[in-house]
Structure 1
């Protein structure tokens, strides 16, 4: 499944990222996880090129993928953490906090107006 948030990367990385994030159903969670995994892959490839100066960029990218492990196993683990229910509860909590802040602000303004 091709994602739409446009992180540019090597084709092998794109396929691995798609497999690793395909089980995450919430768009914001999936995009954030994909960017974080991509940053980790880039850091790992850069470190490998520093440690092994003879490696080409493509070889370092391939070794970074191998060291990250199976995308499907990582995807299952990520899906447990980023379940739709947790995301929806987070959105509800944010809404409730904002509503409480608005009510408190209105109440404070009313009290200021009443006793001014």
Structure 2
């Protein structure tokens, strides 16, 4: 079992730098429609994130729950990291969309957690 884990870790270390790197002059420009889709989706996530942040703020003031603040912060950071990763990998075809999908799941989780 540990052999499989170490093999997967080595493969991940080889693949991550290629997936998340700044483009060079040799890289083709991303397709304009693909870039526009990523930007539109990220903008919608940003607006939804602001709504969740407002609900979280009200929830923090309304009553004290020791689990609430760390949970909301972690959910928000996961969504933010996925959105940033989508822009960092915009030269790939499916990876940005998968990361934005994960950010959308994070947004829905934030909406559920901040519900009163």
Is the TM value for this pair above 0.5?
no
Structure 1 or 2, whichever has the larger Rg, is 1
For the superposition of Structure 1 and Structure 2, which TM-score range results when normalised by the shorter chain?
Answer: 0.3 to 0.5
TM (normalized to structure 2)?
A: 0.33
